[in-house]
Amino acid sequence: MEPALRDPDFHTYGEYLTWPEDVRYELIDGRAYLMAPAPTLDHQDITGEIYRQLANQLEGKPCRPFIAPVDVRLPKQDEADDAIDTVVQPDVLVVCDETKLDRRGVRGAPDLVVEVLSPATAFHDHQRKRAIYERTGVREYWLVDPIERLITVYHLVNGRYGKPEIHAMRGETPILVLPDAVIRWDALLQRLPESDD
């Protein structure tokens, strides 16, 4: 499955800002994709736990973690904000360059993006968003699968994501772009419900 399109038209961030706040969209190359309904509790638990661990580990350091919803504007060049045609809301992100932060969110590629998968977004996150994150320079991209209990990690090398690393969701997973930062899974796994499968 993948998110539904709002309509077949081309849209920009300027238009996006005028839409009602009760329905959330992401723009990818001008196409508006409806964000999935409220995620499951295990999705929220994983997202919150990753954010909490990052916030604790990055305390007093220049890199800052954020949790959705935060607009991340990804310009293709130096276009004005209103003309940007790609705006995403990753589940968790880390930005180490404070010049990318402003009142509206983030302008430019975060250093780390984490997307927690759901059946409604898996294709979108694996294909469309991975291509966008690679193109715009996200240095490390994680896809966390709460059902399979796997983490797929892409690292940007020479402007490209190579073959991903696949980690089991256990023990700890290091974050390459944040030296000495890791995500520890065991306490989280003890409180997550077993898969319905």
What CATH number does residue 63 fall under? Answer: 3.90.1570.10
Whether the predicted pLDDT of 134 surpasses 80: yes
**Beta strands 105-107; 87-88: pairing state:** unpaired
Whether the predicted pLDDT of 2 surpasses 80: no
Give the pLDDT score at 57: 97
Whether residue 24 is contained in a domain is answered as: no
Q: What range does the domain containing 78 cover?
A: 38-191
What is the arithmetic mean of pLDDT over 119-124? 78
Higher-confidence residue of 62 and 124: namely 62
Give the pLDDT score at 195: 61
Backbone angles phi, psi at 56, to 5 degrees: -65, -45
What is the arithmetic mean of pLDDT over 109-117? 96
Whether residue 1 is contained in a domain is answered as: no
Whether residue 10 is contained in a domain is answered as: no
Q: What percent of the chain has pLDDT over 70?
A: 97
Q: Give the number of domains in the chain.
A: 1
Whether residue 12 is contained in a domain is answered as: no
Give the pLDDT score at 42: 87
Q: Which residue has the tokens 């919803």?
A: 69
